Amino acid sequence: MLRLLLCLVTVISLTNCQVPPFMEECVNNAYPPPASHKVPTYVVNLDLPAAQRWTHVVKDKGPQIKNLLNEFKSFITDIFHGSQAIVDFIDKAGPLVDETLPQPFADEMRGIANVTGLKLGEIVFFNVFYEFFTVCTSIVAQDPTGKLYHVRNLDFGLFLGWDIKNNTWSVTELLRPMVIMVDFQKGGETVFKSINFAGYVGILTAIKPKLFTLTMNERFNKDGGYIGLLEWIAGQRTGQWMGFLTRNVMEKASSYLEAKVMLQNTEMLAPAYFILGGNATSGPFQQGCVITRAREYPVDVWDMESANGWYILETNYDHWEAPLFLDDRRTPAHHCMGNMTQQGVSIKGLYNVLSSRPVLNKLTTYSALMQVDSGHFEAWLQYCPEPCIPW
């Protein structure tokens, strides 16, 4: 938490500006967004050899992946005063790390590197990055008829290149063209669907139609993912990478309860919040929860029935603690959910909540909207018009 606060203060001083006055709004006319904001869909065939599964995706998105990695490298060298040591380490250590990764993920990353012409180390680094900088808002909500919806904003790019001239985060701007919807199929049938950044093989947002929905939010904690990564490189490999765990859950779990057990009990490299929605909505069987994870064990499992009764909401702070005063998306989100009421729970109503500042901010790359029973899944690129706070 101290690390986050120091970084926020640093951004403010470097940009020579003050934190904008707190702006809370609850919009009611954001849906539907412009058609130009709709996220394209790709099919990934899990029956193909792992190295071939992403070929068509990264052929389309290769230039964007290269641009983003160049920005990452530029940011690193700027922070460390022009030193190439870290960039060289990424290039050299990445292939060695890839050799230690479980299949099919190692081969999928090798295939992406081969198609794009990028170094394998860069692709491995690209797939690690999302474990450390994902700042989000996730909501599971039940409408009056008992249908469960699961929505999220994915905010990414905090501290990664604030553009003073345009009031934007450079990495966030580069990520939006890389957002894709992925239909993972076997035998021509959908296994699950996800929202991915092209080139990333893990899962941050996904639905297994008729069974469950899942989003992941980063948890800021002293045992952060960088510690787990260093331990992995040093040969201590008892934990799973978060994105691989969530991918395994989406492929292998056949129920909400099975997914819940996997997410609670699997040791990981980084702490996280897992927001899980199911398809049952009656009494003690109501299926919606936030799993607060340390690397080795579950810290807390917060069920929707005890949270609110008709919805549960998570940003990036333990629900029993107050959020950081500079980053309180939780209070405005609750306010907008209260204004909407349970009667308003729908794709439209929840998209309006996600589009209300500061839930919507300069870091927001996309909004995802899921309804588990019907298998409905849609995603839209998000842009926050001025005046808009950076985070």
Whether cis (ω within 30° of 0) applies to the bond prior to 284 is no
Q: Which are the catalytic amino acids? A: 136
Contact yes or no for 115/83 (Cβ under 8 A)? no
SS3 category, 38: strand
Chain centroid, CA 331 distance in Å: 20
Phi first, then psi: what are they for 114, rounded to 5°? -65, -40
To the nearest 10°, the Cα dihedral for 39, 45, 49, 51? 0
What is the identity of the amino acid at 308? N
3-class SS letters over 154-198? EEECCCCCEECCCCEEHHHHHHHHHEEEEEEEECCEEEEEEEEEC
What distance in Å separates the CA atoms of residue 203 and residue 309, rounded to the nearest whole number?
28
Neighbours of 300 (CB within 10 A): 14
